[in-house]
Structure 1
Amino acid sequence: MSDWAELTNGKRLKHLRGSDLTQQGLADAAGLSLALVQKAEQDRGELSIGSLLKLANALNTDVSVILGQQAPRRGMNQDTRAAVRRLSDAVHDSALGAWDGIGEPSTLGELSAAHDRVCASYWRGDYAAFSELVAKVLLEGRARHAQATGHERERLGSILASTYQFASSAAVLLGQRDLALGALTSARRLADSSGDEVLGALLESTLSWIYLRSARVPKAIAVAEQAALRIEPSFSRSPRPQLLAYGRLMVSAAVAASRRGDAVTADDYLSQAHAAAARLGRDEALYGTHFGPTAANTEAVGIAITLGDHGRALQLAAQTTLPATMPKLARNRYKLDVALAQCAAGLHDQAGDTLIEVGLDAPEWVRHQALPGVIGKRLARVSTARVRSISELIGVPLIN
């Protein structure tokens, strides 16, 4: 909320506690008295540093948020805040080499299987399971990596780098930019030490996305373009992993170019992405990153929308078939783009139906997206009653 800093500490505490936690529940979780929590929410006296730390820990937030120095993430419930805290602890503790488990850390095979579950939970938008799995892989993986040699060490380095990349991507979605950059820094070091050139290129795609989300568009383009040049394939004989990484980087560059309204450059990059996808011939995934004909086609829809060509976007969407294997979050991100184009074309009923599909399919993920609110405001110009009905159905406030 924009006026977060203008609230009192007590009002901020009450807001953070929300309706899913009573004052007594907060007191119990923080190890404080009910009377102290009641006085704090009523702004009756100053809280000690010790009490602030206990309250922040119980609310899965930071002291800076309680004090109004930093606003909370919109729509983040208790479970998601807990997931963010676990994710942050895992990223930082693993980088510092902290693992206090009993016995030996998990084996390479066990960590590889856990990494696969990290990928699956990320693409489902299941942040609770995701954060727990990330913590396991990073903390135990770093401990195992410190002991390993040769091929095992290289393989563990790739698994860890990919897991840090997922942690970075999730942090971006949850509005934690500094955590995203911290996780990606660890990922790049591990990828460099493992000698995995393709993984290193995929990490640059994530960095480009972070810059794009931070409105640093020229930097986003430059990062993607430079990484692509380093692995630019010969389309007649390049390995498939190289084609996948190159195509994903070209998509990143095309999306960023479209954000600054450069249709010609965006189209050039997109053409390269389509060429890589055509050479692959099918959708593939590497280290949990997906690319192929479906990704090239769906990203083309989003780019057309960004450039203001909504008719073209809907035409491309009509020609695009989503396979059952498409990850849930990728599918729903694409559907939000389609809903936006439907709004712009005056297809308000269709846009509302598309928004409902997304909200019901990925209820936790959609709360952290900006587009539902944009679409809701546009639909409200036609019918506020319909928008309020959609809000109630998907559990996301779309208009005030």
Structure 2
Amino acid sequence: MSNWADLTNGKRIKYLRGSDLTQQGLAEAAGVSLALVQKAEQDRGELSVGSLLRLAGALKTDVAVILGQQAPRRGMSQDTRAALRRLSDAVHESALGDWSGMGEPSTLAELSAAQERVCATYWRGEFGEMSELVAKVLLEGSARYEQAAGYERERISSILALTYQTASSAAVQLGQRDLALSALTSAHHLAKDSGDAVLPALLDSTLSWIHLRSAKVPRAVAVAERAASRIEPAFSKAPHPQLLAYGRLMIAAAVASSRRGDPVSADDYLSQAHAASARIGHDVTSHGTHFGPTVTNTESVGIAVALGNHGRALKLASCTELPRSMPKLARNRYKLDVAMAQCEAKLYDQAADTLIEVGRDAPEWVKHHALPGVIGKRLAKVSTARVRNISALIGVPLLT
């Protein structure tokens, strides 16, 4: 096979489909027309983000693989592969009770501090350091959990569940769906012992995201909606953690609804998220999750982009200020949405500058997302030379 990045999208789709799956079979599995599959493999026309998600789901791969940003199973740096291996070992070995040869595990206070660092490194996109911390918390925490009782057992179960959740989120970012589901399964089991009603709801928010990335959009909506109904707050007296979890679930449902082209449902869910953030009144962090006015505003931009309302997206973006405290990954994911809206509005220079900002700020993280490739294709219609320059600057192949 030629260098994966040198192939066209159509050739990559055809290669991933293989000889065992016909074009008709791929169309049926993805829920798209046969004509769309034929045009895609012949590189005629451009695929929407929604079509890319459906094809990636049917081909059991990540959108980044179809776009050539990531080769099948080996499109990441050596450091990221090593981090992913540590992450996988930690998730599976801790779940299987394999912590033989380990010395005295860390104290409850030490484990709690390490778990907070796990969240911080994840949101900075530092997956190498994060994977080392995850291994420490999961292995040592699991060993202590087996001996703990009462309050200590509840606290450790919460620490472990949150760490598994972060590991799951990192696995999703890196295109490892099975690992993400495995980690989240362990998190759900532990959450039952935590005595924390908010924690299972936040885990379901992550599950909704996994389903969305797997092109299972109806399931993504259903999971978020069902979890939200279980913790729906009385807005006049609900504590911040409950409002945060409910708002996050409403955003998950809104995003998924936008991906299936349902603006009515998306707006309805989004209005509930805005109500929750307004009740809190400011950005907050709980259980390693961020929520508040900034989150609802930035997610509103992404939802408008997904619904094709690029003018509205840019208007919302012009009224959105990003606080310095906004996590790096959240900030850059938002900027990709802005770049997409700029591109569709034919603000090509602005879109290029925004894409460069993202690539320079989060060079490894950006390789695992579909939007840079989509934006690159749009920009190439104006200037392939400019796109080649951007590819060189951010280290992501944008032209195939």
| TM-score category, normalised to shorter length | 0.7 to 0.9
| Structure 2 CA distance for aligned equivalents of residues 365 and 176 of structure 1 | 14
Rg larger for: 1
3-state SS of paired residue (2:368): coil
Gaps of 5+ in 1: 7-70
C-alpha displacement of 1:287:
1.5
Matched, 1:397 2:392: no
User: Counterpart in 2 of 1:277?
Assistant: 277
3-state SS of paired residue (1:193): coil
Matched, 1:207 2:198: no
Gaps of 5+ in 2: 5-11, 19-70
User: Counterpart in 2 of 1:300?
Assistant: 300
Matched, 1:253 2:253: yes
C-alpha displacement of 1:5:
9.6
| Structure 2 CA distance for aligned equivalents of residues 254 and 84 of structure 1 | 30
| Structure 2 CA distance for aligned equivalents of residues 213 and 156 of structure 1 | 30
| Structure 2 CA distance for aligned equivalents of residues 120 and 104 of structure 1 | 25
**8 Å contact kept, 1:205–1:224:** yes
**8 Å contact kept, 1:207–1:220:** yes
User: Counterpart in 1 of 2:41?
Assistant: none
Number of residue-to-residue matches in the alignment: 336
TM-score normalized with structure 2 length:
0.82
User: Counterpart in 1 of 2:362?
Assistant: 362
3-state SS of paired residue (1:139): helix
User: Counterpart in 1 of 2:85?
Assistant: 85
User: Counterpart in 2 of 1:379?
Assistant: 379
Q: Could you give the per-residue CA deviations for residues 337-390 of structure 1, whole angstroms, max 9, x where no partner exists?
A: 000000000000000000000000001101111111111111011000101111
**8 Å contact kept, 1:74–1:368:** no
Identify which range, 192-201 or 145-154, moves more after superposition: 192-201
Q: How does 1:170-181 map to 2 (within 5 A)?
A: 170-181=170-181
Q: Could you give the per-residue CA deviations for residues 101-128 of structure 1, whole angstroms, max 9, x where no partner exists?
A: 4431011111111111101110111111
C-alpha displacement of 1:215:
0.9
| Structure 2 CA distance for aligned equivalents of residues 293 and 73 of structure 1 | 38
RMSD over aligned CA atoms reads 1.2
Q: How does 1:224-243 map to 2 (within 5 A)?
A: 224-243=224-243
Matched, 1:141 2:144: no
Query: Could you tell me which amino acid in structure 2 is paired with residue 230 of structure 1?
Result: R
Highest RCO, 1 vs 2 (Cα 8 Å, sep ≥ 6): 2
Q: How does 1:152-171 map to 2 (within 5 A)?
A: 152-171=152-171
User: Counterpart in 1 of 2:43?
Assistant: none
User: Counterpart in 2 of 1:96?
Assistant: 96
3-state SS of paired residue (1:75): coil
TM-score normalized with structure 1 length:
0.82
Query: Could you tell me which amino acid in structure 2 is paired with residue 393 of structure 1?
Result: L
| Structure 1 CA distance for aligned equivalents of residues 124 and 325 of structure 2 | 12
| Structure 2 CA distance for aligned equivalents of residues 331 and 177 of structure 1 | 23
User: Counterpart in 2 of 1:41?
Assistant: none
3-state SS of paired residue (2:203): helix
| Structure 1 CA distance for aligned equivalents of residues 239 and 290 of structure 2 | 16
C-alpha displacement of 1:211:
0.6
User: Counterpart in 1 of 2:244?
Assistant: 244
C-alpha displacement of 1:195:
2.2
Q: Could you give the per-residue CA deviations for residues 12-31 of structure 1, whole angstroms, max 9, x where no partner exists?
A: xxxxxxxxxxxxxxxxxxxx
Distance 1:74 1:103, change over 3 A: closer
| Structure 1 CA distance for aligned equivalents of residues 111 and 263 of structure 2 | 43
| Structure 1 CA distance for aligned equivalents of residues 313 and 105 of structure 2 | 49
| Structure 2 CA distance for aligned equivalents of residues 4 and 216 of structure 1 | 19
Distance 1:4 1:215, change over 3 A: closer
Q: Could you give the per-residue CA deviations for residues 61-104 of structure 1, whole angstroms, max 9, x where no partner exists?
A: xxxxxxxxxx7346311111111111110000000111134431
User: Counterpart in 1 of 2:313?
Assistant: 313
Q: Could you give the per-residue CA deviations for residues 39-74 of structure 1, whole angstroms, max 9, x where no partner exists?
A: xxxxxxxxxxxxxxxxxxxxxxxxxxxxxxxx7346
| Structure 2 CA distance for aligned equivalents of residues 130 and 117 of structure 1 | 8
Query: Could you tell me which amino acid in structure 1 is paired with residue 290 of structure 2?
Result: H
3-state SS of paired residue (2:364): helix
**8 Å contact kept, 1:73–1:174:** no
